[in-house]
Amino acid sequence: MALGVRKVAVLGAGVMGAQIAAHLVNADVPVVLFDLPAREGDPNGVARQAIDGLKKLSPPPLALRDRAGYIEPANYDQHLDKLGECDLVIEAIAERMDWKKDLYKRIAPALAPTCLIASNTSGLSLEAMVEDLPEALRARFCGVHFFNPPRYMQLVELIPLPQTDKRLVDELESFLTSVLGKGVIRAFNTPNFIANRVGTFSFLSIIHHAEAFGLRFDAVDALTGPLIGRPSSATYRTMDVVGLDTLAHVIKTMADRLPDDPWHPFYRQPDWMAALIARGALGQKSGAGIYKRAGREILVLDLEKGDYVPSGTPVNPEVLAMLEAADPAEKFARLRQSAHPQAQFLWAIFRDVFHYCAEHLGAIADNARDLDLALRWGFAWTQGPFEIWQSAGWQVTAAAIAADIDAGKAMADVALPRWVLDGRNGVHGAGGSYSATFNLYRPRSALAVYARQCFPEAVLGEVTPSGNTLFETDAVRMWTTETPGTQDIAILSFKTKMATLNQGVVEGVRKAISRAEADYKGLVIWQSHPPFSAGADLSAAARWSQTGNFAELDCFVAAVQQMTQALKYALVPTVAAVDGFALGGGCELVMHCTRAVCALESSIGLVEAGVGLVPGGGGLKEFAVRAAGLARRTPNDDVFPFLVGPFQAISMAKPAINALEAKEMGYLRDADTVLLKRQELLHLAQRTARALHDAGHRPRLRPKAVKVAGRSGIETFEATLVNMRDGGMISEHDYRVGRAIAVGLCGGEVETGSLVDEDWLLAVERRQFVELTKTVPTIARIKHMLETGKPLRN
């Protein structure tokens, strides 16, 4: 029987358990969240408090606050029978082997015969956990290690045991990938699995070498963040975020379970970390750790002074120049040759991680690709260790590592594995990635779920398909994918910076629609990298404003409106595949396509007010049309209430922070699709376009009589704006912009209840847009945004 996941039980309402539950309901999977019964009051109080706490966390685990209502609180004393309703049970209690084993024995009789149980352990022995359970249950048990925070961290390590039903593991991987949007790596049942094993060693090597080279914590963080392709939290800030006590537990697991490891002497927490933990300075969660905040100032622990001091030790200019070298081989050669402590430190930490990964590859990962992706997805490295090594020149780097091992400079004296020095140029290539276990190159997984990813996240050296070009200009490319059965759907991608809309893009969209109507079943707008579109090219608007060429500006805005109308009324279905933000004109593209398919973490909205403008590509018109349609379904046919939400969002330049919120705000429609796996966007957009075509797609009939709110609606919005202006909440120009938005939404200065068509609404919108570009404050806002990337409130 297939693993059909209708409901999930999460055992343990702590930080991880509650947030795993939150991510499940983000994906429309209802959850029963278990914990111990409260000692007094509501027996479900522990779980209920955890659910309430989800609404207060930042970043938010819940895509929408009301999703918390789909998490049902429960306790082990009263509600074990609810486990029988669940197809998947995820255990996420504290990392205590005795507690886990006791819990499994307790819940085993209540589980459904087909239920799969998975432990979210970060590194305990899975074999030991289930050694006392019946064989049938052991066949339905595996590890599933989410990274924190579960909504935002892509990595999930899936750890089957030899006796685990392979079919169930495949189906769980498919569920985690497609439904929850995760990057799944199958790990071996070894201590700390892949990402934490290598990531923790990376921390330990940095701690060791920082001490050896006499570098302060903040100096190390300046060196080991974005400059080397790692997160801005770098090393010690990341330790504070993770929690020093949590990190100490992971280190202890490695020390206890890896006694024969060549690097075992380094599997220990440093004295300063033990001292911080002893006094409760655990990092971010306790308010102080390696760093602490004093007012607006960030202080860092100075070990020599034994106290916190202002942070901000700079990177040496010569070392910075080395790190900024475009050629990785040159960068590493210069680091190795430099005598500067910061350069020597950087070479040492890379060298020892390369050495460690090469030695342990066969024991902890099926292949080098899995190890690299685990570090990218679990620790937010831009490249994995083997990718960095390969880009720096495999053989030259290997020779340098071997020389340092021989000279006693490396952390361990074990020689590099023979396969490293066999003349190869790397571990990734067109044929797959190297497996030290099987001494061959492994292709990617053949699981059916991965066929939904037209362009899976690639590692260095992999060959990615380019598609078949239909036409290409400086601004756009129209093409099809190469997969058989997909070439009947045309794809349009923008080539401009941030996928902005300029004249070339506008003309390209119109041309692509005509080509698709003639030769294809549908048209998908999709970008190979986020964002979907940052909107109109502000530099062009600034140029026209400064030269006073408002007639040309009016023509451009009219062309954008014609483009969005062409998308709306195309003879073939048009589908926007949205990943990242779709703002301003990008949002208007989405609103006018037949359908939208959006990755959950997409920010969508009309934000033109932030630069002193109104939407000009049909966004106000579209909300007016939708409001009229919604009003017709009500007894009094009153349009105005359906304009209040759009007016507030547009006048405040407030986008939806995710695609589910975009539905609530009206930027997306009920028929639009939200999915969690961004790599599946293009596949689903193609399928959506084809399904609409096969269902007999016809463009919508153009509304000839749109009821508008008119003068009465404008006056009501204006009264609110006056109060805000007079109360000092908005500026005089904010008031002017807000009124222009009200005029566009309400259909212009006409009688309330007047019937107009879309051309009228577009003309009103365009006029408001062009008039604002003539004002000094709007010109200043556009200039400030172009120069700083930040809004100006004037």
Q: What is the DSSP string of 355-384?
A: HHHHHHHHHHBSSHHHHHHHHHHHH--SS-
Given a cut of 70, is residue 31 above it in pLDDT? yes
Picking from 298, 294, 301, 304, the residue whose alpha carbon sits closest to that of residue 273 is 301
Angstrom distance (rounded) from CA 336 to CA 348 = 9
Q: Give the integer Cα–Cα distance in Å for 737 and 717.
A: 12
Q: Express each pLDDT in 200-216 by its tens digit.
A: 999 999 999 999 999 99
Q: HEC states along 507-521?
A: HHHHHHHHHHHHHCC
Residue 359 CA to residue 416 CA, distance in Å, equals: 7
Q: What is the 3-state secondary structure of 604-643?
A: EECCHHHHCCCCCCCHHHHHHHHHHHHHCCCCCCCCCHHH
Return the domain boundaries, the chain: 8-186, 195-441, 468-701
Mean pLDDT calculated for residue range 736-762 = 97
In whole numbers, what is the pLDDT of the chain averaged over residues? Answer: 96
Reported as a pLDDT band with limits 50, 70 and 90, residue 593 is very high
Cα(201)–Cα(216) distance, rounded to whole angstroms? 19
Q: Which long-range contacts (CB under 8 A, 24 or more apart) does 108-113 make?
A: 108/133, 108/134, 108/137, 110/80, 110/81, 110/83, 110/84, 111/83, 111/84, 111/137, 112/83, 112/84, 112/85, 112/86, 112/87
Q: What is the pLDDT of residue 1?
A: 45
**Residues written for the chain:** 794
| 381 pLDDT above the threshold of 80 | yes
DSSP annotation of 421 reads G
For 766-785, what is the mean pLDDT? 95
Of 494, 365, 502, 497, nearest to 437 by C-alpha is 365
Superfamily of domain 8-186: NAD(P)-binding Rossmann-like Domain (3.40.50.720)
Confidence of residue 350 (pLDDT cuts 50, 70, 90): very high
The token pair that represents 727 in the structure block: 């109360």
pLDDT at 323: 95
pLDDT of the residue at 2: 62
Q: What are the CA-CA distances from residue 28 to residues 6, 7, 10, 73, 249 (Å)?
A: 9, 10, 15, 17, 34
User: Please, which pLDDT band fits residue 313 given cuts at 50, 70 and 90?
Assistant: confident
CATH 3.40.50.300 is the classification of domain 468-701: no
Sign, Cα dihedral of 277, 282, 287, 288: positive
CATH topology identical between 195-441 and 468-701: no
Nearest alpha-carbon partner for 83 in 159, 122, 140, 131: 140
Q: Give the pLDDT band of residue 21 (cuts 50, 70, 90).
A: very high
**Residue range 195-441 in CATH 2.40.110.10:** no
- As a whole number, mean pLDDT of residues 471-480 equals 98
* Residue 420, token pair as written in the block: 């490293």
- Check whether 217 has a pLDDT greater than 50: yes
Q: With 50 as the cut, is the pLDDT of residue 45 above it? A: yes
Radius of gyration of the chain, Cα coordinates, nearest whole angstrom: 29
Q: How would residue 122 be classed by pLDDT, with cut points 50, 70 and 90?
A: confident
Instruction: Give the CA distances from residue 728 to residues 341, 383, 652, 717, in Å, rounded to whole numbers and listed in that order.
Output: 54, 49, 15, 17
- The 10 Å CB-count burial string (b at 16+, else e) for 123-145 is bbbbeebbeebeeebbbbbbbbb
Q: Pick the closest to residue 375 from 284, 500, 460 (CA basis).
A: 460
DSSP 3-state assignment of 681? helix
With bands split at pLDDT 50, 70 and 90, how would you rate the model's confidence at 465?
confident
Query: DSSP secondary structure string, 187-253?
Result: B-SSTTTTHHHHHHHHHHHHHHHHHHHT--HHHHHHHSSGGGTS-TTTTHHHHHHH-HHHHHHHHHH
Is 78 exposed, middle or buried (CB count within 10 Å of its CB: 0-12, 13-18, 19+)?
exposed
Residue 82 tokens, joined: 């609810």
- pLDDT computed for residue 367 by the predictor: 98
Question: How many degrees, rounded to 5, is the angle at CA 111 between CA 110 and CA 117?
Answer: 135
Helix (H, G, I), strand (E, B) or coil at 34: strand
